[in-house]
Chain A
Amino acid sequence: MGKKLLLEHIDVPGIQSLNVYRQKGGYETLKKALTSMTPEQILEEVKTSGLRGRGGAGFPTGLKWSFLAKPEGVARYLVCNADESEPGTFKDRYLMEKIPHILIEGMIVSSFALGANTSYIYIRGEYFYVARILENAIAEAYEAGLLGKNIMGSGYDLDLYVQIGAGAYICGEETALLESLEGKRGNPRIKPPFPAIAGLYGCPTVVNNVETIAAVVPIVKDGGAAYAQIGIGKSTGTKLISASGHLNKPGVYEIELGLPVEEFIYSEEYCGGIKNGKQLKAVVAGGSSVPILPAHLILKTAAGEPRLMSYEGLADGGFATGTMLGSGGFIAMDEDSSIVKNLWTFSRFYHHESCGQCSPCREGTGWMEKILHKILHGHGTLADVDLLWDIQSKIEGKTICPLGDAAAWPVASAIRHFRNEFEEYVKQGHSIKDVKHYYRLNHLPEPVN
């Protein structure tokens, strides 16, 4: 059994409530932080832990915190990014729904460390019912003197609010999130300045993902060094993985970073193998934005080593043969899945979610979706596949925010690894039924059992 830091008590009946959470040691970390630590000491622990942003980018959290400007007399904010919208990702929802107090405790400890007296949890609008769970938990915390004035007699004040979004993937980008929180369209801001200098209401702000903030609790509890012992190399600690697609046991799993992908997919402790006894064809390992990999490359690196679920492990081989850990949205596809059609659902997604501010993304995402639709319906040409490649290359790295890259990478990787399937669609159109057949026809290594 891998170590569980966030989900340890997930199955305890009533863990949603403050009382049960406290019985299981909840808010002891807060007490420790407020009564025996300075904000600087907490920052040091987070730095030592090697914790990296769990929302997708993997930026070192301690470093991000250390960038926060601290001008005299200016408010600072901590904003929790609970806008989880990356296709394939549902871990934050699970965590907030099942054990809301770990996020709230993390918010208070982190706000204290950053010197924020008002903090917000920005949650996607579709998670309204989760927002209510959080609000109830926050009300309990106020009631118990864990929020508000003079928390636990420490002299530290904090107000914590839940802010609801209204349907926009782009608000998961931190500056778009801040715009949205200010009651505006979710258009990403042009950086610099970064939020650490000018964020919410122009004040220094840190934006962190739900899981990142929750992870601060075990880090402060047991110390950053203990946290850094878990995991592998620069991928320290545990990570929540959202497993979906053709798996026997989809769901949210807390893994120690460094777990072999093969074990994650096939062991009974985790996903229990591919549904209906089929073979694995491909995996999108870190949410829709990261490159898709065929079975042989997700299970083993190009060098033939077992592929590990860590930031470095999944990235091994670069984009040529590797991918990214991303948000940990792990989508498995069986042998009968159409890569082209799956890609179309991704491209349709990015087309739908582009904010429209900058031209490559506004025009390019729609264009790619249209071409994929054409190919999928048997009207494509081989030149269309090349055109797709060219369009994605002209979006990547040219946009205001990372949505452009996120729209480009799935297209590039699908063509890179499954060009044969695109070509079969061009030749046969949607009459193509047995995509497995073409997968094998092209002499790619056999899917692994």
Chain B
Amino acid sequence: MPKVTIDGVTIEVPNGTTILEAARMIGPEVAPPTMCYYSKLETSGGYCRTCLVKVSQGSEKDPRPMPKPVASCRTQVMDGMVVENNTSPEIHEARAGVVEFLLANHPLDCPVCDQAGECHLQDLGYEHGKSETRFEFPRREFERKDIGDKIQLHMNRCILCYRCVKTADQVTDCRVHGVMNRGEVAEISTYIEKSIDNDFSGNVIDVCPVGALTDKTFRFQSRVWFTKPVDAHRDCVKCCGKVRLWYKGNEVLRVTARKDQWGEVESYDGKTGWICNTCRFDKKTTADWTIDGPSKISRHSVISANHYNSLKALKATIDRQKDALPHGEKVTLGHGALDPNNESK
């Protein structure tokens, strides 16, 4: 079994393991971020370039470094390989570049986007991006399209990760959407108005890392951080029936598959827990489900601890500024608006 060292941590992994999977085995502190790779989808990865790492030693046998950064999701480890991820300033710089490219044409309107709070691009931008954009041209725009009565495609937000295309290929029985055109104007489309009509089509929503594919039955019902996730199951003839219910009060606002710490759909006994459209769209009362308990969510998101830490800092700044205000003017903030514990309960 090959041994690989990533950011100074050495691990022994099975033959054929990718650098990314090896890093995930070590843990989130060394795992490169991913936008297109999805371990449950074959041939996924390689496109977004966010998981680029530096291979400073190719292997024990051939210790030469690799000449360029490599996509860790598609590069297999060799025995004695040494990889730099977070420890490499070059990789930080390259990754910041990738984030800037991904955001070049992406609308910067998270406050009105339904994905906000569970968007991987938002997290990525937060962790690896710069605070301002240097892209000053009009962003490319597309019409919003309904693909089926339950799924909306908002191409402006798409980063062309190909996950939904691979999901349709590998999880549903007939793919009717794909990537049209090429280059900067490439888009996900059905080409002619066609609805995605398939028992498992809703899974494209779960794999979408951004707000490009959203659940129409949930859109703008609630900000995701105001909902409470609860794991539940039912006997389903079509799928595993293991889901996550997103409650607001007593109301089930949406149903999704359960996701793991990497934001991917959970696996059960080696099988990916894709869920069917009946479970996703038609079972929206508590009575439909057996509740397993509150979901353990690692909110790897801007609504996670980091964000609130920065809010604390913001509050401190505002306090300082308040003190500096002349004539004892008062700044009024909404009740508890800056309470770091306010929304995390």
CB atoms of A363 and B68 under 8 A apart = no
CB atoms of B182 and A359 under 8 A apart = no
Contact of B184 with A by CB under 8 A: yes
CA distance A344 to B33 in the complex (A): 34
CB atoms of B179 and A351 under 8 A apart = no
CA distance A365 to B182 in the complex (A): 13
Residues of A within 8 A of B85 (CB): none
A 146-179 contacts with B by CB, 8 A: 168
Contact of B151 with A by CB under 8 A: no
Which of B49, B100, B159, B182 is in CB contact (< 8 Å) with A355? Answer: B182
CB atoms of B98 and A359 under 8 A apart = yes
CB atoms of A394 and B182 under 8 A apart = no
Q: Which single residue of chain A is at the shortest CB-CB distance from B137?
A: A370
CA distance A229 to B71 in the complex (A): 42
Residues of A within 8 A of B45 (CB): 190
CA distance A352 to B186 in the complex (A): 11
A 301-344 contacts with B by CB, 8 A: none
Contact of B210 with A by CB under 8 A: no
CB atoms of B182 and A168 under 8 A apart = yes
Chain B proximity mask over A376-407: 1 for CB below 8 Å, otherwise 0: 00000000000100000010011110000000
| Chain A: minimal CB distance from B342 (Å) | 36
CB atoms of B47 and A366 under 8 A apart = no
CB atoms of A362 and B49 under 8 A apart = no
Residues of A within 8 A of B182 (CB): 168, 185, 354-356
| Chain B: minimal CB distance from A165 (Å) | 14
Contact of B105 with A by CB under 8 A: yes
Contact of A258 with B by CB under 8 A: no
Contact of A55 with B by CB under 8 A: no
Contact of A60 with B by CB under 8 A: no
CB atoms of B184 and A363 under 8 A apart = yes
A394 in contact with B97 given A354-B182, A356-B160, A367-B135 (CB within 8 Å):
yes
Q: Which single residue of chain A is at the shortest CB-CB distance from B162?
A: A357
A190 in contact with B97 given A353-B183, A356-B184 (CB within 8 Å):
no
Q: Which single residue of chain A is at the shortest CB-CB distance from B99?
A: A359
Residues of B within 8 A of A351 (CB): 183-184
CB atoms of A358 and B46 under 8 A apart = yes
Residues of B within 8 A of A370 (CB): 137
Contact of A195 with B by CB under 8 A: no
Chain A proximity mask over B14-52: 1 for CB below 8 Å, otherwise 0: 000000000000000000000000000000011111001
CB atoms of A398 and B69 under 8 A apart = yes
Chain A proximity mask over B186-226: 1 for CB below 8 Å, otherwise 0: 10000000000000000000000000000000000000000
Contact of A364 with B by CB under 8 A: yes
| Chain B: minimal CB distance from A57 (Å) | 14
CB atoms of B134 and A366 under 8 A apart = no
| Chain A: minimal CB distance from B154 (Å) | 18
Residues of A within 8 A of B100 (CB): 394
Contact of B102 with A by CB under 8 A: yes
Residues of A within 8 A of B179 (CB): 185, 356
Most interface-central of B94, B97, B185 (chain A CB within 10 A)? B97
A 95-140 contacts with B by CB, 8 A: none
CA distance A185 to B180 in the complex (A): 9
Contact of B311 with A by CB under 8 A: no
A 61-82 contacts with B by CB, 8 A: none
CB atoms of A358 and B94 under 8 A apart = no
CA distance A426 to B123 in the complex (A): 37
Which of A168, A353, A367, A398 is in CB contact (< 8 Å) with B49? Answer: A398
Residues of A within 8 A of B184 (CB): 351, 354, 356, 362-363, 365-366
Which of B68, B74, B105, B185 is in CB contact (< 8 Å) with A398? Answer: B68
CB atoms of A358 and B47 under 8 A apart = yes
Contact of B142 with A by CB under 8 A: no
CB atoms of A366 and B183 under 8 A apart = yes
Interface size on A, residues (CB 8 A): 26
Most interface-central of B68, B71, B183, B185 (chain A CB within 10 A)? B183
CA distance A398 to B135 in the complex (A): 19
CB atoms of B101 and A387 under 8 A apart = no
CA distance A366 to B185 in the complex (A): 10
| Chain A: minimal CB distance from B195 (Å) | 23
Most interface-central of B68, B104, B137, B184 (chain A CB within 10 A)? B184
CB atoms of B74 and A190 under 8 A apart = yes
Q: Which single residue of chain A is at the shortest CB-CB distance from B100?
A: A394
Residues of A within 8 A of B67 (CB): 397
CB atoms of A190 and B68 under 8 A apart = no
| Chain B: minimal CB distance from A104 (Å) | 32
A398 in contact with B52 given A190-B46, A359-B102 (CB within 8 Å):
yes
Residues of A within 8 A of B94 (CB): 394, 398
CA distance A370 to B98 in the complex (A): 18
B 219-270 contacts with A by CB, 8 A: none
Residues of A within 8 A of B48 (CB): 358-359
CB atoms of B134 and A387 under 8 A apart = yes
| Chain A: minimal CB distance from B36 (Å) | 9
| Chain B: minimal CB distance from A55 (Å) | 20
| Chain B: minimal CB distance from A368 (Å) | 11
Residues of A within 8 A of B181 (CB): 356
| Chain B: minimal CB distance from A386 (Å) | 10
| Chain B: minimal CB distance from A392 (Å) | 11
CA distance A358 to B104 in the complex (A): 14
CB atoms of B160 and A360 under 8 A apart = no
| Chain A: minimal CB distance from B283 (Å) | 37
| Chain A: minimal CB distance from B159 (Å) | 7
Residues of B within 8 A of A397 (CB): 67-69
CB atoms of A400 and B135 under 8 A apart = no
CB atoms of A363 and B105 under 8 A apart = yes
| Chain B: minimal CB distance from A221 (Å) | 37
Residues of A within 8 A of B49 (CB): 358-360, 398-399
Q: Which single residue of chain A is at the shortest CB-CB distance from B68?
A: A397
CA distance A365 to B185 in the complex (A): 12
| Chain B: minimal CB distance from A302 (Å) | 24
Q: Which single residue of chain B is at the shortest CB-CB distance from A188?
A: B46
Most interface-central of B100, B101, B104, B134 (chain A CB within 10 A)? B101
| Chain B: minimal CB distance from A358 (Å) | 5
Residues of B within 8 A of A168 (CB): 182
CA distance A364 to B333 in the complex (A): 42
CA distance A22 to B137 in the complex (A): 60
| Chain A: minimal CB distance from B158 (Å) | 11
| Chain B: minimal CB distance from A350 (Å) | 9
A-B contact list, 24 entries, CB within 8 Å: A168-B182, A185-B179, A185-B182, A190-B46, A190-B74, A354-B182, A354-B183, A358-B49, A359-B49, A360-B101, A362-B183, A362-B186, A363-B101, A363-B104, A365-B184, A367-B137, A370-B137, A394-B93, A394-B97, A397-B69, A398-B94, A398-B98, A400-B46, A400-B71
User: Contacts A190-B74, A354-B183, A357-B47 given; 6 further ones with Cβ under 8 A?
Assistant: A352-B183, A358-B46, A358-B49, A360-B98, A363-B101, A398-B68
Chain B residues proximal to chain A, CB less than 8 Å: 45-49, 52, 67-69, 71, 74, 93-94, 97-98, 100-102, 104-105, 134-135, 137, 159-160, 179, 181-186
Give me the 3 closest cross-chain CB pairs, A-B, nearest first. A394-B97, A356-B186, A363-B101
